[in-house]
Structure 1
């Protein structure tokens, strides 16, 4: 699938384009396009630009997801995970990072901060009904399928 990805010239901030880091990777790494280093204190969140937009084909979405290494080593993650990029959006991809770690974390230009996974989606034809078709589970919610029943 071809996906158009233009660089949005933000002054002289140039960063690598979204890219797969290995042959089997499914997430395109997104880099920070910040003019100056940005520090996130513990508990702080900030919107970090990537410098790129994307033109996704109809029937697909972009999911912005955290990078596992940042989460494990620093407690830094994407706040609205997964963030959704609709196929009709043409603005810059920006990532809401939050520092859930115990120490300040600094984001520098070119740092890999998130990943973009492109997925097919099905659009629903919403039909209003008086009641739903019954199932064995019914309205059983949180934890209802893992409840151990005594003999």
Structure 2
């Protein structure tokens, strides 16, 4: 699989997650929205990373993305522009913020302890909305970047 193919596959996954998250919003399934929105951010980030190499198998890809942005700063800014480069830094910030919700939306916080907060209580409407606020622009940033980058 080429980097272009890999990036496209990650974008397809991000699109599917975003579509699911939007659908679950209509059902007021905040836990489901949180899960799908977080996964959208993760997959969008990995789509950008895939343009340069293999994404690491971690839920928080922000460190890997920031490293690639630093290593490829001049080339990225030349090929897609300074504002797109800034948007990729925003994507890394969103990835770092969303990442913990991968586990929290499944297991809650502090599982196995008296301080456990189950995911059904943790994933409120406000949390789901915040993760959607991260997912929507993350998807768009990754879509625009991968399209521009893979065109050459």
TM-score, length basis structure 1: 0.21
Higher strand share: 1
Pick 1 or 2: higher relative contact order, CA cutoff 8 A, min separation 6: 2
Length-normalised TM-score, structure 2:
0.21
